[in-house]
Amino acid sequence: GIISMEPGQSTTVIELLNAMLVASSNESAVALAERGAGTEEQFVARMNERAAQLGLTTAKFYSPNGLPVYTLSAQPAKLQNQMSAYELFRFSSYVLKKYPEITEITSQAYASMPSLEYITANSNPLIFNLPGISGLKTGSTNRAGHCLSASMPVTVNGETHDIILVLLGSENGADRG
């Protein structure tokens, strides 16, 4: 992981959210999942239930952090979270409407975890290059490539709308940016 965490250490939920959403900290996602549901597996089950409730039919989750899960069966498999670009757009739109305060975290250029003496830069280069962008989430795996969901509020005729960008399958982080 990018943040050194030891069993039994304490930090706050907001610090874990900052690390997960700004720095793309996989270990923070796992810690939040375990805190929220007891185990990663129970949290993933909740993720899949919620995706179904939202009508996200292409969404299938195997891990709370987006990393592949390897099975130990006779024929090992690498299971990876998945969702179509369209449904990632719909989900991003839902999150922005239901939890608009998330952009207070995702639009930060830098985030800190004082309890773990950790400071990090946003993994989304658009934050540094496009004023007004609110980030949302970056991610990458070998199969998915480098991916991004971002939003930017745009005002037209006195009405503000969030323009949402979904980019999947970029060759590398520089191309994604």
pLDDT of residue 76: 66
How far, in Å, are 30, 64, 75, 76, 116 from residue 72 at the CA level?
A: 20, 19, 8, 6, 34
pLDDT of residue 42: 98
pLDDT of residue 1: 56
Per-10-residue mean pLDDT for the chain, 177 residues long? 78 92 90 95 97 97 91 78 96 95 93 88 90 90 91 94 94 89
H helices present in 74-167, as ranges: 85-98, 102-106, 126-129
For residue 121, what are its two tokens? 């830069």
pLDDT of residue 120: 87
Q: Is the pTM of this model over 0.85?
A: yes
Q: Would you list the DSSP string of 15-42?
A: HHHHHHHHS--HHHHHHHHHHHHSSHHH
